[in-house]
Amino acid sequence: MAIILGTSGVVLLLTCATFLTYEFATFKQTSLRQLSTLGEVIATNSTAALAFDNQTDATEILGALKAEHHVVAAALYDRQGNLFAQYPANAPATSFPPAPQADGYRFERGRLIGYAPVVQVQGSQRLGTLYLQSDMEAMYERFRLYGGIALLVVAGASIVAYILSGKLQRQISRPILALAETAQAVSDRRDYSVRALKHGKDELGLLTDAFNHMLEQIEERNLELQRAYDDLRQTQQTILQQERLRALGQMASGIAHDINNAISPASIYVETLLEKEPNLSKRARDYLTTTQRAIDDVAQTVSRLREFSRQREPQLILAPVNLNELVGQVVDLTRARWSDMQQQRGGSIEAKTELAEPLPLILGVESEIREAMINLIFNAVDAVADGGRISIRTRLFSPGLLSGTPGAVARVGVEVADSGIGMDDETRRRCLEPFFSTKGERGTGLGLAMVYGTMQRHNGDIEIDSTPGQGTTVRLLFPRPTVASELPFPLDTPPFVPRPLRLLLVDDDVVLLKSLADSLRSDGHEVVVAGGGQEGIDAFLAALAAGQPFAAVITDLGMPEVDGRKVAAAVKSAAPGTPVFVLTGWGRQLGAEVSMPSQVDRVLGKPPKLRELREALSSVRNPLS
């Protein structure tokens, strides 16, 4: 209401001020014209009195100005500039100028004065000068009148605006107050199950929906965090540092399903666009490739959190990795951090790369190595926060360069060096320990520990050279494949697409369901979707009864009430030959850790890959063929 009243009041005041300003300007011009006209009349009538030196007639002529009550003084001067007659007649001579001034009319010190020549009618001979003085009372009277009118208008409009705003503001304040009361209830009772009442479908209705959705997410996360906190509290008295890492992995696994579900639609759509849109611009393809790489990194990070302290598992698939290309990607990904640091602290950070050419490829997991390099660069940025240099170098280390170690083999390495504060011997010895940090509250103590774990999983080594005040160099050394045949180069073949099938897709996540269905349909499959376990079972049985059975069923594992296990059991009970593929966001290790029913033919992780889906569907036969 204050905003409405203030806005309308300001508008009205500006409008009134505009009219008053215009009136002031026009009134001055009008006053000048009126006094000028009056002066011409008086001057014309005064020619005879001045010509015949008749002061009595001149005084009578000036006395006619009594009818003009705004004219407060007038005088006639002869041709020598002496005062000849005056108005009022009894006014002292000192009230008038001692001599006439330049002809014309002007405003001086809150009054209007003018000098007009008195010229003989039949010629140009000047007989004298007429002086007129007028006050500004007419203007002041008009301003008082207009000011009163303006005040009445503003007051009346304000009353109307107050009444209207008092009624209309409830449409805004009521939903906002409802949100405030809900937020207060949540804050006071810490009860995230309460929901705000929606009052409409406008913008405030959307705000209410978003607020309620936020409360739902907070409630879910609060329950998960509470369970994780309880688990951690029960074990914190007995676990050692390595056990703390395992507990961290257990906490992360509680939200792995939600994270994988959330990134699955983005992964499916990005992979489909890159594969099936040949007309993408180079920029768009680069953006999508970077997005796909980031999604893969998130999936790898989620799956790796539980394996944080474990050695690399034998089934981990290694691929050729070009460290030079990886350095370019990492520099681009971390560039924003350098800009932020320069803006926050004013220091200038100089970063340069030195890449060895040619550099042999190594075998590894690209996402893990990229994350390790990002951790090293972030540590270097923190070390030179007030300004300095960061160098990222790649090189091939021959056996003779590796500290003279007996039996040493050639290694491919990447170094991250900074000119920062450095570390003393004690810090350098402990910097790889989990939860050891030199950054205080800003650090977690997990960065270098994760780098160390990555190198252990890749059968590599990490070397740290550091001197206080002279900077730090961290060197990652990877084994070099001895023969080219060890590098499993993928064949550059077009993606294999199975023959069209009639598929049933079951998932309670609407966004994931749509994205996966769109992708399968783009491969030519006929896809029927079901938004829950029981709905999927009903759809399967109905199709079977109608003589249009599905070739395969793809179902989510974690669904409320009727989960993927029950769906698989119902499908196999009705049609034992129908393959059932289960999608899960808990990671590929689920099959080894959780007992799966025999009715499940294959477990696929989230986010699903088109290649894996196609591989699974390639073995399915069409039941109607």
What's the pLDDT tens digit per position in 533-560?
999 999 999 999 998 999 899 998 888 8
Q: Which one, of 446, 445, 428, 427, lies nearest residue 437 by Cα? A: 445
Q: What is the CA radius of gyration of the chain?
A: 45
Q: Give per-residue pLDDT as tens, 77-88.
A: 888 888 888 888
Whole-angstrom distance, CA of residue 479 vs CA of residue 411: 5
Q: Which amino acid is at 31?
A: S
- Alpha carbons 98 and 236: distance in angstroms, whole number: 106
pLDDT score, position 40? 87
The distance of Cα 567 from the centroid of its chain, to the nearest Å, equals 42
Is 185 within the bounds of a domain? no
Token pair for 71: 């004219």
Backbone angles phi, psi at 620, to 5 degrees: -85, 135
Lowest-pLDDT choice from 24-28, 196-200, 253-257: 253-257
Is residue 465 located within the same domain as residue 323?
Answer: yes
Domain of 608, in residue numbers: 502-617
DSSP, collapsed to helix, strand or coil, labels residue 390 as: strand
Q: Which pLDDT value is given to residue 316?
A: 56
Q: Which residue has the higher pLDDT, 185 or 124?
A: 185
* Nearest CA among 516, 535, 538, 511 for reference residue 527: 516
Same domain, 439 and 352: yes
- The Cα–Cα gap between 315 and 575 comes to 33
Band of the pLDDT at 341, cuts 50, 70, 90? low
Which is higher by pLDDT, 409 or 427? 427
Task: Say whether both 482 and 506 belong to one domain.
Answer: no
Question: Given this model, what pLDDT does residue 534 score?
Answer: 92
In a domain, 346, yes or no: yes
pLDDT confidence bin for 251, thresholds 50/70/90: low
Domain match, 426 and 555 both: no
> Are both 364 and 413 inside the same structural domain?
yes
**Which pLDDT does position 590 carry in this prediction?**
47
Q: What is the pLDDT averaged over residues 448-471?
A: 86
Dihedral angle sign, alpha carbons of residues 155, 158, 162, 163: positive
Asked, for residue 206, whether it belongs to a domain, the answer is no
Same domain, 440 and 583: no
Question: What percent of the chain is modeled with pLDDT above 90?
Answer: 8
CATH code of the domain in which 559 resides: 3.40.50.2300
Cross-strand pairs, 505: 529, 554
Residue 152's φ and ψ, nearest 5 degrees, are -65, -40
Enumerate residues 6+ apart whose C-beta is below 8 A from 162: 1, 5
Q: What is the pLDDT of residues 473-519, one digit of tens each?
A: 999 999 887 654 445 444 444 556 678 889 999 998 888 888 888 88
What is the rounded average pLDDT of the residues 23-37? Answer: 80
Confirm whether 491 is domain-assigned: no
Place of tokens 């409630």: 219
Mean pLDDT for 332-361 is 76
Helix/strand/coil for 468? coil
Does some domain include residue 352? Answer: yes
- Using the predicted structure, report yes or no on whether residue 597 has a pLDDT greater than 80: no
Residue range 437-452: mean pLDDT, rounded: 69
Q: Are 338 and 374 in contact (CB under 8 A)?
A: no
Same domain, 263 and 229: yes
Measure CA 265 to chain center. Answer: 22
Judge whether 353 and 389 are in contact, CB under 8 Å: no
| Pair 23, 110 in one domain | yes
Indicate whether 240 pLDDT > 60. no
Confidence band for 340, pLDDT divided at 50, 70 and 90: low
355-367 pLDDT, tens digit each: 988 888 998 888 8
**Domain end marker among 245, 276, 305:** 305
| Residue with more model confidence, 36 or 137 | 36
Output the domain CATH number for residue 110: 3.30.450.20
Is 236 in the same domain as 343? no
Chain centre to alpha carbon of residue 49: 87
Is 524 buried (19+), middle (13-18) or exposed (0-12) by CB count in 10 A?
A: exposed
Is there a domain that residue 573 lies in?
Answer: yes
Q: How confident is the model at residue 249 (pLDDT cuts 50, 70, 90)?
A: low
The answer on 386 and 262 residing in a single domain is: no
Final residue belonging to a domain, choices 305, 339, 359: 305
Would you say residue 608 lies in a domain? yes
Please state the rounded mean pLDDT for residues 291-304.
70
Mean pLDDT, rounded, for 312-328: 75
Residue 101 pLDDT level (bands cut at 50, 70, 90): confident
**115, 142, 169 - which closes a domain:** 142
What is the predicted pLDDT for the residue at 469?
84
Round to whole Å and give the CA distance between 555 and 540.
12
Q: Would you give the distance in Å from CA 294 to the centre of its chain?
A: 19
pLDDT above 60 for 244: no
Instruction: Indicate if the pLDDT at residue 191 is higher than 60.
Output: yes
For the ranges 125-134, 285-294, 465-474, 546-555, which has the lowest average pLDDT?
285-294
- Name the residue among 569, 536, 540 with its Cα closest to residue 555: 536
pLDDT, tens digit (0-9, with 9 covering 90-100), for 8-20: 888 888 888 887 7
Q: Is the pTM of this model over 0.75?
A: no
- Using the predicted structure, report yes or no on whether residue 106 has a pLDDT greater than 60: yes
Provide the pLDDT for residue 188. Answer: 80
Beta bridge partners of 88: none
Residue 178 lies in a domain: no
Q: Are residues 237 and 341 in the same domain?
A: no
The pair of three-digit structure tokens given for residue 605, joined into one six-digit string: 């992780």
How many domains is the chain partitioned into structurally? 4
- Asked if residue 482 and residue 334 are part of one domain, the reply reads yes
Give the separation between CA 30 and CA 121, rounded to whole angstroms: 27
Does 395 have pLDDT greater than 80? yes
pLDDT at 497: 67
Contact 72, 133 (CB under 8 A): yes
- Asked if 535 and 562 count as a contact pair (C-beta separation under 8 A), the reply is no
pLDDT digits (tens, 9 = 90+) for 41-76: 888 888 888 888 888 888 888 888 888 888 888 898
